[in-house]
Amino acid sequence: MQIRLADKAGFCAGVRRAFEIAEDAVDKPEKWYTLGSLVHNRQVVEYFKEKGIMPVESIEDIAEEGSGVILRSHGVPPEVVKQARKKGLIIKDATCPLVKRIHDLVSMLENEGYDIVIFGDINHPEVQAILGWCKYKARVVADTDEAKKIEGSKKIGFLSQTTKDEFEFLKAAEALLSKAYEVRIFNTICSATRQRQEAAVRLSQQVDLMLVIGDKNSSNTNTLFEECKNTGVKTYLIQNAAEIKDEWLKGVAVVGVTAGASTPDWIIKEVVDKMAAYKENNKQEQGVEESFARLEAEIADFIPPERGDIIKGVVVEVRDNEVMVDVGGKSEGVVPLRELTVKEVNSAREVVKVGDTIEVLVLRWDDDGTILLSKKKVDAIKALDHLEEAYRKGSLIEGTVIDVVKGGLLVDAGVVAFVPASHVEEGYVKNLDEYKGKTFTFKVIEFNRSKRRGSQVVLSRKEVMAQERERRKQEFWNSIAEGQIKKGIVKRILDYGAFVDLDGFEGLLHVSELDYKRIEHPADVLKEGDEIEVKVIAVDSEKGRVSLSRKALLKNPWEIVVEKYKPGDIIEGTVVRMAPFGVFIEVEPGVDGLCHISQMANHRVEKPEHVVKIGEKVRVKILGIDNEEKRISLSIKEALSDIDRREVEEYLAKQGGNNE
């Protein structure tokens, strides 16, 4: 005798989730109860009774305040939740995510004025809970005949209990199509239920006997039983291995085994083990074990994500306006372009590619079972976490200007943040459009995650610039010292000198330090933007002053004079100043010599201006050079006499030469 296990059998994801929630409660210190049977399986109920979790029929049956209540996988009406909260109970919601989706659907249909029709068993706890979520404004039909009796209506919303037969549901839906101007049909039958039915039917066509394991009060188990029986194969519904009768197996070559969605794996294993004892040989043992391994994999199947869950998925298709994502479930996930990124893009292909693993947030389940997802919101959550930490620590972040709005800039910092115009630069900004598309460093100056109006995040570039300026200022004062040679840029020119930018800090180059020669105005030798080399001649960090000299880097003109001239030389100079006792004559840029009034002419001079004028070029004789005192004595009179004498000597020499 061969034993074959259906590909899909036993716990569905929703039941598995409820089971794990209850197991988690076992270790909690509070006293825990389940409202009704956690799932439709007495063995599961007894299992948790032994662990101290007792079922109750109503919230009123829980006497101890502060106790915990686990809401059954079939769901409960909203008033039951309110009652539990009012009583101060701790609530663990084990409602199947697919059932919760139905609650959302009927609530939406009721709000939009639809006449709601539910395909199911009116006494089933799942249906009773669904009725509560549409304020009990719904009709329940058990089959197509009852659907045909529904009165005509303007618009009808039709959906099903999750564990019903899909073929029967669609027949009932067809019967309703002529009952209203608008009929909205939601196929809310659990995919696990459908898969178990399909797998059981396939297996039934390959065996001599089918055993369906599950509680006799379980709707999906009874549906499985009917589906198998309708194939014509001999079928028995059993709750555990003890109910198997020897006479069922006489003359049977192949036995098929399946189980309802609320049947725990250990009961299935017991049935398989008992059936193995009837085998005539051991050749099939490996096949049975492989089937059971597949069953265990199915038991650990994907739990449908709920609205608000953050899950990982793999991109399987990229279109211009949306991205298809495999999130491991039975339905496809879709990320619309608007939910892909905060950036302005023309196509989803600019953001992701097939094979990328991305994190997404579940927004809702669409009517066709598709999960609507958002990558942008997950990115925003992560970005807000990062920005909140930056705000708390005072650290800096990067962002790209994406738009200019009234009053400032919008910046992509993972979320859209706002930069007030007054915080773009340290000074007034005339044209904000110049910043669009550029990336800058910002400081978070305001952060409010729960803010609903206005920006949650406000940034400042001005404060970053101020911090950078302060940092560079400290570095400047720590490094600047007298005697240093620096390169700088002429920033401003005034009457008394020029301000030179040295690594972001300005030092003063006084007009007297521009050159050894006299400079009337700094603009005569400098212009704004010039790069020049200067020497630091004084530093006052307390007053924040740095004095500079350009002259100090030029060759001392006195050295030129000493190298170039000697007493007795007759040279040309320029009258630069007058005094009652004589005139000062510039012999080299920055070096003036004195021609005493007594040396200005061969006659008595009353005033220097009677002989020369400012700016006049004159020939002078060097009478003496005092290197220590850096003084030069000059004589116009001696220069003239020497010149006259030389001219006479030259004339006489020429005359003498002619006589020869």
The catalytic site residues sit at: 126
Task: Kindly tell me the sign of the dihedral angle through the C-alpha atoms of 338, 340, 343, 347.
Answer: negative
Tell me how far the alpha carbon of residue 472 is from its chain's centroid.
30
Rounded to 10 degrees, the C-alpha dihedral 592/598/599/603 comes to: 140
In terms of DSSP bridges, do strands 310-318 and 357-365 run parallel, antiparallel, or are they unpaired?
antiparallel
What is the distance between the alpha carbons of residues 480 and 137, in angstroms, rounded to a whole number? 84
Q: Please, is 563 exposed, middle or buried when counting C-beta atoms within 10 Å of its C-beta (0-12, 13-18, 19+)?
A: exposed
Supply the DSSP string of 467-523, one letter for each residue.
Answer: HHHHHHHHHHHHH--TT-EEEEEEEEEETTEEEEEETTEEEEEEGGGS-SS--S-GG
Residue 171 burial (CB count, 10 A): 14
What is the distance between the alpha carbons of residues 346 and 281, in angstroms, rounded to a whole number? 66
Q: Judge contact between 34 and 286, C-beta under 8 A.
A: no
Residue 298's φ and ψ, nearest 5 degrees, are -65, -35
Task: Kindly tell me the sign of the dihedral angle through the C-alpha atoms of 488, 492, 493, 499.
Answer: negative
Q: Judge contact between 221 and 262, C-beta under 8 A.
A: yes
Q: Which residues pair with 574 in a beta bridge?
A: 586, 617
Integer angstrom CA distances of residue 31 from 27, 54, 84? 10, 9, 14
Token pair, residue 424, equals 């773009």
Reported as type and span, the H/E element at residue 646 is helix 636-659
Residue with the two structure tokens 């994190």 = 359
What is the distance between the alpha carbons of residues 508 and 524, in angstroms, rounded to a whole number? 17
Supply the DSSP string of 110-133, one letter for each residue.
Answer: HHTTPEEEEES-TTSHHHHHHHHH
What is the distance between the alpha carbons of residues 13 and 330, in angstroms, rounded to a whole number? 11
Token pair, residue 455, equals 């920006």
What is the distance between the alpha carbons of residues 332 and 222, in angstroms, rounded to a whole number? 29
In terms of DSSP bridges, do strands 457-460 and 439-447 run parallel, antiparallel, or are they unpaired?
antiparallel
Task: Kindly tell me the sign of the dihedral angle through the C-alpha atoms of 257, 261, 265, 266.
Answer: negative
Q: Which amino acid is at 449?
A: R
Question: Residue 66 region, left (φ>0) first, then alpha (ψ -120 to 50), else beta?
Answer: left
Reported as type and span, the H/E element at residue 447 is strand 439-447
Q: What is the DSSP letter of 251?
A: T
What is the distance between the alpha carbons of residues 361 and 384, in angstroms, rounded to a whole number? 15
What is the distance between the alpha carbons of residues 96 and 9, in angstroms, rounded to a whole number? 18
